[in-house]
Each structure stands twice: as structure tokens, then as C-alpha cells.
């Protein structure tokens, strides 16, 4: 691409995938927040709330899965840089009748952001909930996994318009 046209940074001038060199970038505080939802039958959510899922405490296990996923992102997504995470916070919302909301905040101090870590953590938490509840509910769906906010780095702060 030429001129001021935007280009995908993970592609070289020949269109081949490569890991971006971030060595010259300054270290900055960075934070990324991602969210997603697992929709289920109200009776399934009741079982989750009551601890009635045979595989165990759904929320506790999904929380651990989210943290592990954030820490493992570079091993799952081919062109992600390994990051030293300074914090991972996982929140679940069980206030609605038929869904569990998931929010993950990932913090780091470094040369590249933590968006992929936050998105991976939400995705794996949702998959964990799905796995633990699928025996009682085949209607489960994972919806709207998305980045809602990020801060730090060259591009500064960003927030989704619908948040």
C-alpha cells in the first residue's frame, strides 16, 4: 500500500504474515476491557446461582479459566506478543433471568496493548460456562464478545460507542 492508506500491521509489504517489531516503542501503562454474554434457559441460570451444576462452581471455574487464558494468549494467537500482565480482573453479572455477563480488565506496562488478552479471557470464560452447563442446556449461546475500552499506547484511549 502506498501513501496514507491504512494497512494491516501484521502483513509485510508482500502480504505475508509477520509479528510486528515493537522494540522501539516506549513502555506505557495499558489497559483493555472486554465483555461478552452467555445466554441460557432461566432454569440453567438458576442452577448456576444455586450451585446445582454437576461439574462444580461455574463462576469460580470460569474466573480461573479467564485468568489462565489472559496469561496464555500469546500461545494461542499466532502473532500476539507475550505480555507481562500486571493485573487481570474478572467480573460476572448474574442479575438477568437468562444470561451471564462477563467483563475482563487486563493491565500491563509495556510496548503493546492487552486487547487480545482481554478478548481471549472473555471468550474462554464463556466457553467454560458453556462446557459446564451444556449437559443441562443445549440452547446456550455465546454473544457479543467485544472490546469495550482500551487505554495507553500510541493511539491513546478508545471506548466503544455503545458503552
Element (H, E) at 105: strand 99-110
C-alpha cell at 55: 461439574
Q: Which of 95, 131, 137, 162 is catalytic?
A: 131
- Give the DSSP letter string of 34-85: EEEEEE--HHHHHHHHHT--TT--HHHHHHHHHHHHHHHHHHHSTTPPP--E
Sheet holding 158-159, edge to edge: 85-93, 99-110, 28-39, 141-151, 158-159
131 catalytic residue (yes or no): yes
Strands 28-39 and 85-93: unpaired
118 touches 140 (CB < 8 A): no
- Could you list the active site residues? 131
Amino acid at each position: 500500500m502506498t501513501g496514507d492508506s491504512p494497512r494491516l500491521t501484521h502483513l509485510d509489504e508482500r502480504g505475508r504474515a509477520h509479528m510486528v517489531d515493537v522494540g522501539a516503542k516506549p513502555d506505557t501503562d495499558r489497559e483493555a476491557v472486554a465483555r461478552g454474554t452467555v445466554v441460557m434457559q432461566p432454569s440453567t441460570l438458576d442452577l448456576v446461582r444455586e450451585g446445582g451444576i454437576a461439574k462444580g462452581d461455574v463462576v469460580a471455574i470460569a474466573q480461573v479459566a479467564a485468568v489462565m487464558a489472559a496469561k496464555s494468549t500469546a500461545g494461542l494467537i499466532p502473532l500476539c506478543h507475550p505480555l507481562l500482565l500486571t493485573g487481570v480482573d474478572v467480573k460476572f453479572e448474574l442479575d438477568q433471568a437468562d444470561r451471564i455477563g462477563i467483563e475482563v480488565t487486563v493491565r500491563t506496562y509495556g510496548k503493546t496493548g492487552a486487547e487480545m488478552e482481554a478478548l481471549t479471557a472473555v471468550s474462554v470464560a464463556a466457553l467454560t460456562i458453556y462446557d459446564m452447563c451444556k449437559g443441562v442446556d443445549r440452547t446456550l449461546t455465546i454473544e457479543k464478545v467485544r472490546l469495550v475500552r482500551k487505554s495507553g499506547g500510541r493511539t491513546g484511549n478508545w471506548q466503544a460507542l455503545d458503552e
